[in-house]
Amino acid sequence: MGNITFTMIKPEAVEAKHTGSILKRIEEGGFRIVALKKVHLNHERAGLFYKVHKDRPFYRELVEYMSRGPIISAILEKDNAVADFRTLIGATNPEEADEGTIRKEFATNLSMNAIHGSDSDDNAITESDFHFSSKERF
């Protein structure tokens, strides 16, 4: 068993019907899907998920955006999962994302950047626990 990371395909990418293409890229990138669901975060849950950013100027906009429609959330497993997944998705700002990355292909801008990836092993566990019970993991 490898490490885990946590991801969300964000509302604008789900609305644009990019879910299948993005999940294909994730599996082809060597990640195993441990848990997967479609869920509409309400304002309160989106705010809680991103509470580490609550003092940042973009927090309000981020919470509005992440609660505007359903997302796809998933736990992914692979050796070196956190770092390898961040390589696969590309830079937070799609203008700085490398060619071939998921954000380069599917993101709209810095706020609507198509996909989330955990930034540390500890946060991968915290974020996974926020979204999934042990019975939802396989």
One-letter amino acid identity for 45? R
49: Cβ contacts below 8 Å, ≥ 6 apart: 41, 66, 127, 130
The CA distance from 129 to 137, in Å, is: 11
- Residue 95: CB minimum distance to ligand CMP, A: 12
Q: Which two tokens stand for residue 122?
A: 């500890």
131 as an active site residue: the answer is: no
Residue placing its CB nearer to ligand CMP in the complex, 34 or 73: 73
Residues interacting with ligand CMP, by CB under 6 A? 53, 58, 62, 92, 110-111, 113, 116
The active-site residue out of 40, 53, 116, 131 is 116
DSSP string, 72-100: EEEEEEETTHHHHHHHHH--SSGGGPPTT
Active site residues: 116
